[in-house]
Chains A and B, each alone.
Chain A
Amino acid sequence: MSDAKAAVMDSVWQGGTHPYAINSKKFGMWLFIISDALTFSVLLMAYTYLRLSTPDWPKPFIFVPSIIFSSIMTFCLLSSSLTMVMAVHSMNHGNRKATVKWILATMAFGLGFVGLHMTEWLNLINNEHVTPFSNEWGVPLFGGTFFALTGLHMTHVIIGVIYLGIIAFAVGRGKFKYEDVEVSGLYWHFVDLVWMFIFPLVYLMSARL
């Protein structure tokens, strides 16, 4: 009897097998990442399309502060990915104290990213007079696409820091399991991943020599 029951449960149509061998939270996060990746791809494509079709596309990114800041921001995000991996690793070994420390380090790098990005934005707005609707080079679409793309990314980083804060708080109090930390890690790595495309396509391709 129990053998027959097990056989029924193992059937794909009974939900008894695990086609992906991962839990539903992780699969849900992967599906979210896919849809979010499409959103960012479209924004990057819009930026690149306009850049190619506009002959006098501006090159507003001077070395100090724009390029040097965005390079340090890239360093922050890459390092935060490393600390996040270490957090997941510690949680896998059941070391909650270390997990909280690594997540706090990740949040610190994330906040560093946001701070530098804000400074760099303010430099563009105050010194180069770039706004989402106008600039001195007569290419208003530059501001529109630039702020939409980097703004959406920065929103993701800020949401990520809040998300990690909740996870760190709960893990510190003995709640949540390994999966929950891993799923938040997936989100954080994705934010890092998107920046790996924004940084060269937006900043490096428009560096003022």
Chain B
Amino acid sequence: MSDHSEAIAVEHVGGTTASFLYIWVALLVMTAIEVFLAYEQLPTLIMLTALLGLSVVKAALIIAYFMHLKFEKLSLFLTLFPMLILCIILMLIFMPDSLRSLMLRAQ
């Protein structure tokens, strides 16, 4: 039983209405910046980096606070996180190939 009441106590640490509102506002502001960037004449690579960077920050905020992962045990995070590394490795393996086929066509 003591375990249970402890869990609820942690819950209270995890979220106050004010903190949820702040995060919601931060997410909306970052979305607005993204839409603004879409209409700036930036080089593709810089724009892609900026948009993906903002998206990763937004995703991290949602996972940490809305999905409550920041307040779970570290072991849960360590179990889930390797998937992300796998994804990034997959991307690094496949993406250069798409540019290679473009070069072949250009010649």
State which residues 5-45 of A face B: CB under 8 Å. Answer: 18-22, 27, 30, 34, 37-38, 41-42, 45
CA of A85 to CA of B20, assembled, Å: 8
CA of A193 to CA of B55, assembled, Å: 9
Question: Is B95 at the interface (CB under 8 A from chain A)?
Answer: yes
Q: Measured between C-beta atoms, what is the minimum distance from A160 to chain B in Å?
A: 14
Q: A residues within 8 A CB of B3?
A: 18
The residue of chain A having its C-beta at the shortest distance from the C-beta of B104 within the complex is A53
Encode B53-65 as 1/0 by CB contact (under 8 A) with A.
0110011001100
CA of A199 to CA of B17, assembled, Å: 27
Question: Is A197 at the interface (CB under 8 A from chain B)?
Answer: yes
Chain A: how many interface residues by the 8 Å CB criterion? 49
Taking a contact as CB atoms under 8 Å apart, the answer to whether B51 and A205 are in contact is yes
Other-chain contact of A204, B11, B35, B62, B68 (Cβ < 8 Å):
B35
Which of under 10, 10 to 19, 20 to 34, or 35 or more describes the interface residues of B? 35 or more
Which of B21, B62, B105 has the most CB atoms of chain A within a 10 A radius of its CB?
Answer: B62
CA of A189 to CA of B38, assembled, Å: 25
Question: Is A71 at the interface (CB under 8 A from chain B)?
Answer: yes
Question: Is A95 at the interface (CB under 8 A from chain B)?
Answer: no
Taking a contact as CB atoms under 8 Å apart, the answer to whether A205 and B102 are in contact is no
Taking a contact as CB atoms under 8 Å apart, the answer to whether A53 and B98 are in contact is yes
Question: Is A52 at the interface (CB under 8 A from chain B)?
Answer: yes
CA of A53 to CA of B24, assembled, Å: 36
Taking a contact as CB atoms under 8 Å apart, the answer to whether A74 and B31 are in contact is yes
When A49-B94, A67-B38, A205-B47 are in contact, do A186 and B11 touch as well, CB less than 8 Å?
no
Q: A residues within 8 A CB of B39?
A: 207, 209
Taking a contact as CB atoms under 8 Å apart, the answer to whether B72 and A196 are in contact is no
Taking a contact as CB atoms under 8 Å apart, the answer to whether B73 and A20 are in contact is yes
Q: Measured between C-beta atoms, what is the minimum distance from B74 to chain A in Å?
A: 10
Binding site for A on B (CB under 8 A): 3, 7-8, 11, 15, 17, 20-21, 24, 27-28, 31, 34-35, 37-39, 41, 44, 47-48, 51-52, 54-55, 58-59, 62-63, 66-68, 72-73, 75-76, 79-80, 83, 86-87, 90-91, 94-95, 97-99, 101-102, 105
Can you sample 19 A-B contacts with CB below 8 Å? Answer: A20-B73, A20-B79, A27-B76, A37-B83, A41-B90, A45-B95, A49-B94, A49-B95, A67-B35, A78-B27, A189-B63, A189-B66, A192-B62, A193-B59, A193-B63, A200-B34, A200-B38, A200-B52, A205-B51
